[in-house]
Amino acid sequence: MVSQALDDLRAEHRWMTGLLDLLQGQIRLVAEDRQADGGLLLEIVEFFASFPDLFHHPKEDLILRRLVARSPAEASSLQQLEIEHEEGGREFKRFMRTAIRLVLDPEVDPDRFLSAALAFMESERRHMAWEEDNLFRTAEHFLLPEDWHDIDTQLKCFIEPLRKQEGRSRYKRISRSVGWWRAGSSAASALPHDEPT
Ligand SMILES: [Fe+2]
Ligand SMILES: [Fe+2]
């Protein structure tokens, strides 16, 4: 383990990938003119509306800031992170609006939902792959043990109280739907709220 923060980020990417797989299943249902699971869709929306900005992006931003200070030349190509997060936020809001509309009235404009949900899903997958190939690897290569120690110490004070406030039970449908997915998957350990403290 280089850093708890980096381990957590990778685990969260696995977890979010699992949620995007669930979303993909719902997209498929709508594309086939079948009924989506509205409760599950709303939980996926709720998760992505809060978790990334509260728990995930702050860790990435902190790592990037440290990298800028430690190794500005290497960090210069990573400055698009902030723009990526903003663009991702816009894609998410479009998806959220169309998902809510679909749940309220499944007959009205499912194509808009399909286009927004696909765009969000693809942009999230691409963004996570970009971070793993660029931000995480560069940070692993150039940050020193004392950098990681400081990052982990800073985050501990920030993340733990938040984690206590978030109840895993808040995402009951996701937990249930993920059950089948977890059964044969090493990603079980990736659950951000797996063992709430
Ligand atoms: Fe990110
Ligand atoms: Fe990320």
Distance (Å) from CA 102 to ligand 2 centroid: 27
Radius of gyration of the CA atoms of the chain, in A: 18
Tokens 């599950």 locate to 40
CA–centroid distance, 63 to ligand 2, in Å, is 11
Find the 94 Cα to ligand 2 centroid distance in Å.
20
**Cα–Cα distance for residue pair 146/153, rounded to 1 Å:** 10
Q: Ligand 2 centroid vs 80 CA: distance in angstroms?
A: 13
CA 9 – ligand 2 centroid, Å = 6
Domains of the chain: 4-181 (1.20.120)
How many residues can be counted in the chain? 197
Question: What spacing in Å lies between the alpha carbon of 106 and ligand 1's midpoint?
Answer: 31
Ion ligand 2 residue ranges (Cβ < 5 Å) = 131
Helix 80-104 with 110-130: angle, nearest 10 deg: 150
Is pLDDT above 70 for 195?
no
What pLDDT band is residue 22 in, cutting at 50, 70 and 90? very high
Least confident of 89-98, 108-117, 158-167, 178-187: 178-187
Per-residue model confidence as pLDDT tens digits over 129-176: 999 999 999 999 999 999 999 999 998 877 665 565 555 557 777 777
Residues of the chain with pLDDT > 90: what percent? Answer: 63
- Please say whether the dihedral angle defined by the alpha carbons of residues 184, 190, 193 and 194, taken in this order, is positive or negative: positive
Please report the pLDDT score of residue 168 as a whole number. Answer: 52
Within 13 Å and on the Cβ side, how many CA atoms surround 173?
14
Tens-place pLDDT, residues 52-63: 988 899 999 999
